[in-house]
Amino acid sequence: MNLINNIKDGLNYSPTSDQEKLIYGLYRFTVSNKANPILIVNGYAGTGKTSLISSYVKTLKSLNVNSVLLAPTGRAAKVFNSFANKKAFTIHKQIYQRSVGRNGGITWNRTKNKKKNTTFIIDEASMISGNISINKSGFSSNTLLEDLLDYVFEQKGNRLILVGDLAQLPPVGEKYSRALDPEYVATLAESPIARITLKEVVRQELNSGILHNATLIRYLIDNDQPAFPKLVSSNYTDVEFITGYELQDILEETYDQYGIDEMIFITWSNKRANGFNQQIRSRVLWMEEELNAGDRLMVVKNNYFWLENDFIANGDVLVVNKVIRETERYGFKFADLLVNIADNDSMPEFEVKVLLNVLTEEGPSLGSDKQQLLFSKVEEDYADITNRAKRYRKIMESPWFNALQIKYAYAVTSHKSQG
């Protein structure tokens, strides 16, 4: 029972009754002798899920139990890392290896898992794709969820915890989060599966209007009522309704009062986000050039090229300190910048090349056709190298091909703000 006590000791408050059930569930899961156990933790907003999982991770370490922390996106991995105080990785980086296909295109194949007797904990599991369309990006013919399960249970003694919230947005193009559905997961893995749901809000969150409205929306979802929710703002200081006519004034006041770092505009499509970003930059922040010193940029694709001992994560926000130069090459527009990663004071500024075309793309990142075109154009620089593998390595070392894909970070989609 030391595990139970250690988890409780890691909390800075007395656990709720729901949390008590989860703590006991984690204990049973950890000591179970059943092969390939899976625990699904569905935690409502404000229920203290993050604190409890953080304490569990630290408890495993104190008991010398191996664990691996994963998340669907780079940004989610960094957040997981920050609250669990243990290095977290993206699922893709952990289970896939990049290689060159027969036509010179990029393919990703699942790697072999060498870890035994290890607990794999996946945060933000609601974003794990169960859709076969992942194959369009050059991945294996399985879904990400299938590959994850195959990878984890390739070795003996491994366990899997999927942590998420069913009320959050599912993966793009999917109607619900398959990874948090025990019946669906059971069709993919011959494993004993348990699910524990946290519903009880911790005391610190009870006066939140944001949480109150989130609970209303969750009620509609749980009861299959698709009606548009009647949101509430009265009696709460953290929710306010405004009209479109008031928007620009409110934005200016918000930027003045809280600063550019503490404000985000959330909308429902990349096209609308592009439009709002242009308007905010020109009419509120008075920026005239395509890029200015002081601009905030959101990374929209993980990048492992520019930092020697780390990676720039999908969802990271960069602050532009200096625009060094802009260049047109291969039919694309690039810029060399000096940047910092926002909210990371420990990392010094660094130089990076960015792909400016992505700023106005209506999709979430550079389209696959344009990505392949860029690959082909860069490959022409190494036409003298006849060995395909050596030519591929040269392309992978090209700063042009590895240019960071970015969008303005003032207005973002709800999916991007979540992940």
Q: Which domains does the chain have, with CATH numbers?
A: 2-204 (3.40.50.300), 207-241 (no CATH), 296-418 (no CATH)
49 or 138: which carries more pLDDT confidence?
Answer: 49
Query: Taking 90 as the threshold, does the pLDDT of residue 175 lie above it?
Result: no
Rounded average pLDDT over 119-132: 88
The helix (run of H) or strand (run of E) holding residue 407 is strand 404-408
Rounded average pLDDT over 47-55: 92
Tell me the angle at which helices 2-9 and 49-62 cross, rounded to the nearest 10 degrees.
130
412 or 418: which carries more pLDDT confidence?
Answer: 412
Within 8 A by CB and 6+ apart from 359, the residues are: 274, 290, 406, 407, 408
Distances (CA, A) of 12 to 44, 55, 202, 303: 19, 10, 12, 36
Return the minimum-mean-pLDDT range out of 127-136, 364-373, 389-398: 127-136
Enter the DSSP assignment of 284.
Answer: I
Q: pLDDT-derived band of residue 135, with 50, 70 and 90 as boundaries?
A: very low
Q: Specify the pLDDT at position 212.
A: 86
Query: Taking 90 as the threshold, does the pLDDT of residue 21 lie above it?
Result: yes
Q: Specify the pLDDT at position 105.
A: 52
Query: Taking 90 as the threshold, does the pLDDT of residue 357 lie above it?
Result: yes
Return the minimum-mean-pLDDT range out of 2-16, 315-329, 356-370: 2-16
Q: Specify the pLDDT at position 132.
A: 56
Distances (CA, A) of 416 to 9, 79, 165, 310: 34, 14, 16, 21
179-205 tens-digit pLDDT: 999 999 999 998 999 999 998 887 656
Q: Is residue 102 exposed (0-12), middle (13-18) or buried (19+ Cβ within 10 Å)? A: exposed
- What number of other Cβ atoms are within 10 A of residue 281's Cβ? 21
The answer to whether 47 and 163 are in contact (CB under 8 A) is: no
Rounded average pLDDT over 332-357: 92
